[in-house]
Amino acid sequence: MPDLGAYKIREISSGELQVQLNKWARQAKSGVVWGRYLKQLFNYA
């Protein structure tokens, strides 16, 4: 059984990797925003 992880990384072009990183960054950012929002909600409650 070949190492699929290493194979996939080789297959992904740097452009695709950048897109994926941007997507993760956006998700992380929106997660942080939601965290702040919920925190404010708890503070008001």
The full set of domain ranges for the chain reads 4-44
Taking 60 as the threshold, does the pLDDT of residue 6 lie above it? yes
pLDDT confidence tier of residue 26, bands split at 50, 70 and 90 = very high
A 10 A CB-CB count for 21 gives 10
**Model confidence, pTM:** 0.47
Distance of CA 6 to the CA centre of its chain: 20
Taking 60 as the threshold, does the pLDDT of residue 1 lie above it? no
pLDDT at 44: 79
How much is the average pLDDT of 15-27?
88
Both structure tokens of 5: 């992880």
